[in-house]
Structure 1
Amino acid sequence: MKRVLSTLAAGLAFALAATASQAQEPIRIGVIETLSGPSAVLGQHARDGFQLAIRQLGGKMGGREVQVIVVDDEQKPDVAIQRVQGLIDRDKVDFVVGPIFSNVLQAIQAPVVNSRAFLISANAGPSSYAGKACHENMFVTSYQNDQVHEVLGAYAQARNMRRVFLLAPNYQAGRDAMAGFKRHFRGEIVDEAFTPLGHLDFAAELARIGSSRPDGLFTFMPGGMGVNLVRQYRQAGLVDRTPFLSAFTVDESTLPAQQDSAIGMIGGMTWAPNMDNPQNKKFVADFEAAFGYVPGSYAMQAYDSAMLIDSAVRAVNGNLTNRDAVRTALRKADFVSLRGNFRFANNHYPIQDFYTVRAAKRPDGKFQTEIVERVFTNYTDVYAQDCPMRW
């Protein structure tokens, strides 16, 4: 009995010492974003949104200091693998947040989820991890890639567009965009054009659109690609006769460069800066005061990612040693999202509302997207049914 009591006491002392030691160490969060090249503005939004949340939390989660380590994936999967491996091996991060692009997420997913860290994707939401390949250590705070594009397919269908031209970059998110649009559109697809990622000269594509004379164009062109496409589309005189429908092509990351060329163009999203709830009004005001520009969805989702992590850390009283407990706390998503309704499906992708949004110029001269109407309510992506996780 003495030996048993002695062993129990030693084990308890070790556990208490480990907990105390952990409490003294900061929570380490690696943020991996695209911060260089034509799409750097997207990563800037995400980085700033995350940093604003940490600032508002007083630099602590669950009573523990937080150390944020930001790295640039350069929009290159091979670079991303090296950077994320450094976060895991050298920096011993507890969470990895990011990235922007789906091909980068596909590169870093296995190294992260097979380590001690949890992966929180604050933007990329490829179909490849929403179904059979879902993973218990990966959470997505944005959407499944198809869903935002489904909004535009439903919009085109509701407005009796009979013939639509589709245009997207040739990588996973581009293919998901095409699939998403087609899910609710029943008309004719006049043509489908895939461009290289980073494509900036759309003369050939615009010529094809002009000659096919569709009832609308649906496109997904994020970052610098979207800036050039919108400008060239307006210059080609196609706006008046072929409505421009897009996701991530016209948003707060591209509008400062597109400006008047984009006004009136319709998009799909889960949120817009003018969303009418108290937490979002405060977020937008605080963000603009801190960084001097209008936040986009990338910033909102990164902010929510920080609040998700904070909710989990608080639920386990700052003790991250029990990964099952942390995972359970993450699944509960016990925080107030800037977009309102938010909870996780069994595949760890969100169940949320989706809207059409329109590019507009504010009275102060700045540009933003604004909510037009809700299209889907409490919407779960179609791949969740194939995810074997049940909880």
Structure 2
Amino acid sequence: MNFKKLKIPFIILLLIIIVAGIIYIPKIKKALAFQEAMELENIEQAFIHMDDYLPTKKVEKADEPFIFPRVNNISLPKDFIHSDITYNTLKYIDSSYTQGLIFIQNDTIQYENYWRGQKEDTRHISWSMAKSYISALFGIAMEEGYIKSIDQTVDEYLPELKGSGYDGVKIKDVLQMATGIKFDETYGDPNSDISRYWEGFVFGKSQDAFASTLINERPPGTYNHYVSINTHVLGMIIVKATGRSLTDYLEEKIWKPIGSEFDAYWLADGHGMEMANGGLNASLRDYAKLGKLYLQKGRWKEKQIVPLSWVEASIHSTEEYLQPNSKNSSDPGVGYGYQWWILDGNEDEIMAIGVFNQHIYINPTTNTVIVKNSANKNYYDSTNPYVLTSVHIELYRKLAHMNE
């Protein structure tokens, strides 16, 4: 064997290995650190320090923040009832691993408290509450003429998704989680689609490219199936149509106009695209301002921030498969609008909901906004009453009506 001939290729191979190590070893270390942070015993700290593990983009606070009037914390009701079972209120708050809870009624803070490391200026991850912010931005982009109609198809704005499951799907179906996309959103299952998505995100891979890999399993506009990547596609459309990043657009159109008290940040992939479906991190009181904005039908002081017609369309739905009692829904018992959950009942309640029990609850009948941040370690146990959204809703309703 002629070792002289092998010398140059060996050096090249060695250089490739060294460069690959320089590039990938830090990524692997970060991924392992994030994986450890997301173990259930560690999520209390992870959810308030997501910027320690992933790239972020800053959303600057308002120059003149809006400060909610407040009273001394009221005494919470002793208990509440769900399905004939009585729950002690304070025990429920503790056993659902609450980190922040704020109860606002008649535009005044009635109760605000923090636990497990969260403070008033802490930025806590929103998870899927971020979807409702994307909905608001989408309505604004339409009002400004960047997007013509929700009856247009996704590929009219995103030709890169031609040939994917989104090819030919109406934007309205994306907004209403009725795309027909095949997707397993089982958190805690390492083989699920959402876990596959997260693995790519942590390693900096393109979310846009991930969306292009998804396929369709049923006709669009026939079945309500919650797919987080649908919201990412909405974010892609906003970015493509406006020429703005989601961070800049949120900051200018919503975050500053509603007087946000603290900076927020958005998680971003390795290509600079924000995690539209759940990567916003903000303070409890600033989350409450989105609730106040929608309680006021998109109006803030003298300015209509989100178009009234868009707000109304977002929080009401007429399609059969979006109704709480529909058999054509993967989430029976609750309805769906444009990236907002619509509660069954006669008080027009709506919610933004994120995994591990992140909630913005809005009740226009009682002029109530409630926000809860949590790091619920029992979240993967679907039978545990301390993780069930339906039980949380009864707690919020008890608060909303406690003065009657």
Please say whether Structure 1 and Structure 2 have the same fold, judged by a TM-score greater than 0.5: no
TM-score, scaled to structure 1: 0.29
Higher share in helix: 1
Larger relative contact order (C-alpha < 8 A, sep ≥ 6)?
2
Q: Which has the higher strand share?
A: 1
